[in-house]
Amino acid sequence: MNEFDTIKNFFSWSETGTGLEKSVGDDCAILNVNNDASVVTSMDTLVEGIHFTKDTKPEDIAYKALAVNLSDIAAMGANPRFFTLSLTIPEINPSWLQKFSESLKALSNSFNVRLIGGDTTKGPLNVSISIFGEVKKGLALQRSGAMAGDLIFISGELGDAAMAYKGLKINDSTLLRLNRPSPRIELGQRLTPVATSCIDISDGLYQDLGHILSMSRVGCKIDLEKLPMSDDVKDYVDSSSNWCVPFAGGDDYELCFTAPKSMRNKVEDISSELNLPLTCIGEITKDIKFTVKGGSVEECYSYQHF
Residues forming the site for a second copy (CB under 8 A): 1, 3, 6-7, 9-11, 13-14, 17, 19-20, 23-24, 26, 28-29, 31, 33-34, 37, 39, 41-51, 81-82, 84-86, 88, 91-92, 94, 97-98, 100-101, 105, 114-124, 126, 128, 130, 132, 305-306
Shortest spacing between CB 303 and a second copy, in angstroms: 11
Shortest spacing between CB 58 and a second copy, in angstroms: 11
Q: Which is nearer to a second copy, 119 or 287 (CB)?
A: 119
User: Rounded CA gap, 150 and 196, in Å?
Assistant: 8
Q: Which is nearer to a second copy, 76 or 195 (CB)?
A: 76
Q: Which is nearer to a second copy, 143 or 169 (CB)?
A: 143
Q: Which is nearer to a second copy, 46 or 267 (CB)?
A: 46
Q: Which is nearer to a second copy, 16 or 171 (CB)?
A: 16
Question: Please, are residues 83 and 116 in contact by the beta-carbon 8 Å criterion?
Answer: yes
**Which backbone phi and psi does 176 adopt, to 5 degrees?**
-60, -40
Q: Which of 193, 161, 198 is nearest to 178 (CA)?
A: 161
Radius of gyration of the chain (CA): 19
Give the CA count within 13 Å in the CB-facing half-sphere of 288: 8
Shortest spacing between CB 128 and a second copy, in angstroms: 4
Q: Which is nearer to a second copy, 7 or 148 (CB)?
A: 7
User: Rounded CA gap, 148 and 142, in Å?
Assistant: 16
- The conformational region for residue 137 under phi > 0 = left, psi -120 to 50 = alpha, else beta, is beta
CA dihedral 67, 301, 227, 203 (to 10 degrees): -10
Shortest spacing between CB 136 and a second copy, in angstroms: 14
Q: Which of 68, 202, 212, 235 is nearest to 153 (CA)?
A: 212
Is the CA virtual torsion 262, 263, 268, 272 positive or negative? Answer: positive
Shortest spacing between CB 37 and a second copy, in angstroms: 7
Shortest spacing between CB 15 and a second copy, in angstroms: 8
